[in-house]
């Protein structure tokens, strides 16, 4: 099981957190088109590479944070940032 570096709680089992998903910008609801909105909802890049992703420390500090992880090796790099761009689903 992955150890996820929570900025507040330190390295925690990934089961202590909720994986929110790939971080991506939310289109402006005032100007977005249905196509663009559904791309935001459903079409993720899912690269085999470094990726910014958001986690929620649901069993710890209950903070959302964003961090860079390599999806093939599960290495993390660079310090996590508080908050982040949210995924599409609750």
Partner 1 sequence: MSTLSDRLSAQPGEIIDRSSKLRFTWNGKGVTGFAGDTIASALMANNVQVVSRSMKYHRPRGYMTADYWDPNGSVQLASEPNVRSGHRQLQEGMKVSAQNVWPSLDRDVRAVNGVLGRFLTAGFYYKTFMHPRSLWPTYEKVLATFAPGGKVDLDAPSGYFDKRYAHPDVVVAGGGPSGLAAAIDAARAGAKVMLVEHTHHLGGHLLWGSDGDRAVLAQLLTELAEADVEVLVDSTVTGRYEDNWIGISQRSHPGVEERLIKARAKMLVVAGGLIERPYVFEGNDLPGVMMSSAVRRSMAMYAVRPGSRAVVLSANAEGDAAVEALTAAGVEVAAVVDPRNGQDLVRAKGSRRVESVELADGRSVEADLLVIAAGWTSPTSLINMAGDRPSFDDSCGRFFPTDPPETVLVTGGMAGDGTTEEIVEHGRATGDLAARRASTVAHRLQAATTRAQSVDEIEPVWAADSRIALGRWSHPGLYRASTHGIVDYSEDVSSKDLVAAAKEGYDSVELLKRYTTATMGPSQGKLSTVNTVAILGEARGETIAEVGTTVWRPPFAPISLGALGGRKFEPIRVSAMHRWHEANGATPIIAGQWIRPEHYGDPAAEVRKTRSGVGLIDVSPLGKLDLQGADVPKLLNHLYTNTWNKLPIGGVRYGIMCAEDGIVLDDGVTGRLGENHYLMTTTSSGAATVWEWAENWLQTEHPDWDVSVTPVTTAYASMNLAGPKSREVLSSLVDDIDLDPEDFRYMQLRTGRIAGVDNCIMWRIGFTGELSFELHVPAGYGEAVWRSVMEAGAEFGITPFGLEGQRIMRLEKGHFIVGQDTDGLSLAPATGLDALIKLDKPDFAGKPELSWALENYEGPLVVAVQPVDPNVVPGEASQIIDPIDKRILGRITSARYSPTLERSVCLAQVEPQFATAGSRLTIKMIDGSLQEAVVQEHHAHFDPEGERLRG
- List contacts with partner 1 (CB under 8 A): 1-3, 5, 7-11, 13, 18, 20, 26-27, 29-30, 32, 34, 37, 40-41, 54, 56, 58, 62-64, 73-74, 82-86, 88-90
Q: How near is the Cβ of 50 to partner 1 at its closest, in Å?
A: 17
15 vs 46 by CB, closer to partner 1? 15
Region class of 35: left (phi > 0), else alpha (psi between -120 and 50), else beta:
alpha
Token couple for 15: 């089961």
CB of 46 to partner 1, least distance (A): 18
- Rg of the chain over all Cα atoms, to the nearest angstrom: 14
Q: Closest separation between CB of residue 44 and partner 1, Å?
A: 14
Q: Which residues pair with 40 in a beta bridge?
A: none
35 vs 45 by CB, closer to partner 1: 35
Gap between the Cα atoms of 84 and 66, Å rounded: 5
Q: Is 76 in contact with 5 (CB distance < 8 Å)?
A: yes
Helix intervals (H) in 17-89:
34-42
Least Å distance, CB 6 to partner 1, is 9
């Amino acid at each position: 099981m992955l150890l996820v570096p929570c900025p507040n709680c330190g390295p925690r089992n990934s089961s202590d957190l909720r994986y929110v998903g790939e971080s991506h910008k939310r289109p402006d609801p005032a100007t977005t088109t249905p196509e663009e909105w559904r791309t935001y909802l459903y079409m993720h890049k899912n690269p085999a590479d470094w990726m910014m992703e958001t986690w929620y420390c649901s069993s710890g500090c209950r903070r959302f944070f964003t961090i860079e992880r390599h999806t093939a090796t599960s290495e993390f790099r660079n310090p996590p940032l508080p908050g982040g761009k949210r995924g599409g689903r609750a």
